[in-house]
């Protein structure tokens, strides 16, 4: 990012935003929530993708003389910063920045991170929300998607739970490829969701153990395949 953009004294809006504010207020009254129609295969959760956010806000913005522009700039550390600008036909504008920090610094990683950043930055500047409460932060932390609490643990005894977890860990250790590891994760995810939903400390500790082993195995398999490992790995 240039020194001008990085400066805290750089204005985030035009000197006058009265017309823009009035237009945005009217537009927000007509915007719909962004529907969660895309499924995250790793967490089996739904989220509103970039196209859903655009569909939710673009008609109302255009009707009231508003448009948006999303560009990129270089940060001082050599990374990428997304710059989102909301424009009014009067020439008034407001702007926000969002750092783009992919887990893996390759074209695919940057593309995915940029799409993610565009979605959140655009929704934030226009004031659009998803239909359901956003649980991306919970998913990103490596926890399964929250589900309705169960009355009891899915296992009759602690020994049965331990035996199941040990089998899962062993299957992860013996996975020959990252693709096979992901298949195993998807196969076991329903049971992990049930264990997490009980709220019991022993069940949740077992889930955390499985997640930790998955991450470590993913890093090992990526390294064996010639990819650079990441600190976070991937969560089931």
Low-confidence ranges of the chain (pLDDT < 50): 1-10, 34-47, 131-142, 147-151, 228-236
In this prediction, residue 135 carries a pLDDT of: 46
Q: Is residue 231 in a domain?
A: no
Residues 114 and 153 placed together within one structural domain of the fold: no
**Per-residue exposure over 44-53, b if at least 16 CB sit within 10 Å of its own CB, e if not:** bbbbbbbebb
Token reading at 150:
């169960």
Domain that holds residue 70: 3-137
Distances in Å between the alpha carbon of 95 and those of 47, 83, 90, 208?
Answer: 25, 7, 15, 40
Q: How far apart are CA 75 and CA 2, in angstroms?
A: 7
- HEC letters along 84-100: EEEEECCCCEEEEEEEE
In this prediction, residue 227 carries a pLDDT of: 55
In this prediction, residue 1 carries a pLDDT of: 38
Q: What is the pLDDT of residues 30-48, one digit of tens each?
A: 887 544 433 333 333 444 5
In this prediction, residue 87 carries a pLDDT of: 96
Helices 18-28 and 50-63: crossing angle in degrees, nearest 10, is 120
Q: What is the pLDDT of residues 142-181, one digit of tens each?
A: 455 554 444 477 778 888 888 888 888 888 888 888 888 8
Q: How far apart are CA 165 and CA 183, in angstroms?
A: 16
Q: How far apart are CA 162 and CA 170, in angstroms?
A: 12
In this prediction, residue 129 carries a pLDDT of: 67
Residues 33 and 150 placed together within one structural domain of the fold: no
Residues 161 and 215 placed together within one structural domain of the fold: yes
Q: Is residue 232 in a domain?
A: no
Residues 117 and 169 placed together within one structural domain of the fold: no
Of 113, 137, 161, the residue at which a domain comes to its end is: 137
């Amino acid at each position: 990012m240039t020194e001008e953009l990085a400066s805290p004294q750089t204005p985030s809006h035009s000197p006058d935003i009265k017309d823009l504010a009035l237009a945005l207020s009217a537009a927000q009254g007509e915007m719909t929530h962004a529907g969660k129609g895309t499924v995250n295969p790793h967490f089996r959760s739904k989220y509103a993708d970039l196209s859903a956010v655009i569909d939710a806000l673009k008609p109302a913005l255009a009707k009231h003389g508003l448009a948006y522009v999303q560009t990129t700039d270089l940060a001082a550390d050599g990374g990428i910063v997304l710059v989102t600008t909301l424009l009014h036909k009067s020439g008034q504008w407001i702007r926000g920045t969002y750092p783009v920090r992919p887990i893996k610094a390759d074209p695919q990683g940057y593309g995915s991170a940029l799409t993610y950043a565009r979605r959140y930055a655009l929704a934030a500047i226009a004031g659009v929300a998803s239909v359901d409460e956003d649980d991306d932060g919970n998913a990103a932390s490596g926890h399964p998607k929250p589900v309705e609490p169960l009355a009891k643990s899915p296992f009759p005894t602690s020994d049965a739970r331990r035996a199941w977890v040990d089998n899962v860990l062993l299957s992860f250790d013996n996975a020959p490829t990252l693709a096979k590891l992901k298949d195993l994760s998807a196969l076991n995810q329903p049971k992990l969701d049930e264990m997490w939903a009980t709220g019991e400390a022993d069940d949740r500790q077992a889930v955390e153990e499985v997640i930790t082993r998955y991450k470590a195995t993913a890093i090992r398999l990526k390294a064996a395949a010639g990819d650079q490992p990441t600190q976070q790995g991937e969560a089931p």
